[in-house]
Amino acid sequence: MFETHHQGVIRRQQAAPAPQYSIRMECRKRQDYGVHLTAEILSPEHSILPALLAGRKALAVTTSTVYKLYGRQLEQLIRHCGLDMRVHVLEGGEINKTLASVERVCREALDAKMDRKSVLVGIGGGVCTDVVAMAASAIRRGIEHMRIPTTLIGLVDAGIGLKGGVNLGSKKNYFGCFNPPSQALLDPLFLSTLPESCIRFGMAEILKMALVTDHELFRLCEGHQQALIESRFSDPWEIGREIIWRSTRSMLEELQKNPYEDQTYQRLVDMGHCFSPALEAATGYRMHHGEAVAIDMALTVTLAESLGMMEPQERDRFVAVLRQAGLPIHAPELTPALCQAALDEAEQHRGGAVHFPIPVEIGRCLFIEDRAKLPNRLIESALRRLAGEAREMHLNLNTH
């Protein structure tokens, strides 16, 4: 209501409703990117990197460990091909996967006077490429980045997806982004300088994809992983490349179904990643991600058998391949209480249900939605069983 005054008479009139205007913005961004299994990426004669950079200003971000091994080759590539590229060296390791590392990359990009057409190039393991993806999403509200993973986990998992992230204290990847690379360049020759332990850790992510989607991949690992671990995937060379590519392709096919994780909370690639983040944090990140994923999967297949969803021989076959790869199946830090806390976390960020991937056979999984189907007594029993098997394995090793 409002008042008007006319010749000393106050008249009350009904206010007209305010006009309503609205428009709906369509802001979805589609981005495709290439994933290339290549070789000699740092060779001036064979590298495809100069052609992909196409004369643009670039900042290569790597770690001190990688730079000690490959810094000279990288600098030679820059000089020989006349690249407009600076190199920035970060300290690696999960403890340095922080916003402070992202800020250091951003400051280096500022010093290099990078513009919106410039490119960040992450050359390193998963920590390095995660930090680079975060920095690229922030610099000038987003610039292009490329990933050149140098670890086995990077080749088949961390270096090929859409996400970047850094930790907040014990919360793994609490800060994160969906920021696909323009290119991911996979060169298995980097594996030749890795410690054998890092090859073993990478096998956990390969076995994850075998467990959820690809029985043939599992069969190849079962038959060849010992030789591949010892030779850093150089012998047998073709089998090694097939295993890497099958695992990579399976991962990308799964990610493509729900790239921004906004279609469903059911993700097969979450296998091995329900309990493992809590386990890594409980060890102060002293435990490697691959070890934690292996322990998580050992517990998951044991729970699957206990629930009658997986045949005992299938469960035992998978655990045996984890052991064959030199991966752990139990850790004292993974307690029933920690498992329950991990399930609480899953419920909180997966829409109120655990969406727990659980195998019914090697190569095929279902999902458990209801938390009540994973009672504490079942988890306690599975952990005791794995602890006993781990002790037995240790005693057998010491005996021989």
Amino acid 15: pLDDT: 66
Residue 343 has pLDDT above 70, yes or no: yes
Please state the domain extents for the chain.
34-193, 196-257+265-399
Q: Give yes or no for a contact between 98 and 68, defined as CB atoms under 8 angstroms apart.
A: no
Angle separating helix axes 289-306 and 196-213, nearest 10 degrees: 30
How far is Cα 128 from Cα 158, in angstroms, rounded to an integer?
10
How far is Cα 251 from Cα 253, in angstroms, rounded to an integer?
6
Q: Structurally, what CATH architecture does the domain formed by 196-257+265-399 represent?
A: Up-down Bundle (1.20)
How far is Cα 43 from Cα 29, in angstroms, rounded to an integer?
35
Q: What is the mean pLDDT of residues 216-220?
A: 98
Q: Structurally, what CATH architecture does the domain formed by 34-193 represent?
A: 3-Layer(aba) Sandwich (3.40)
The span from the first CA to the last CA of the chain, in angstroms, equals: 93
Cis peptide before 357 (omega within 30 of 0): no
Tell me the HSE value of 118 on the side-chain side, using a 13 A CA sphere. Answer: 25
- For residue range 274-296, list pLDDT tens digits in order: 999 999 999 998 999 999 999 99
Amino acid 156: pLDDT: 97
Amino acid 189: pLDDT: 97
Q: Do domains 34-193 and 196-257+265-399 have the same CATH topology?
A: no
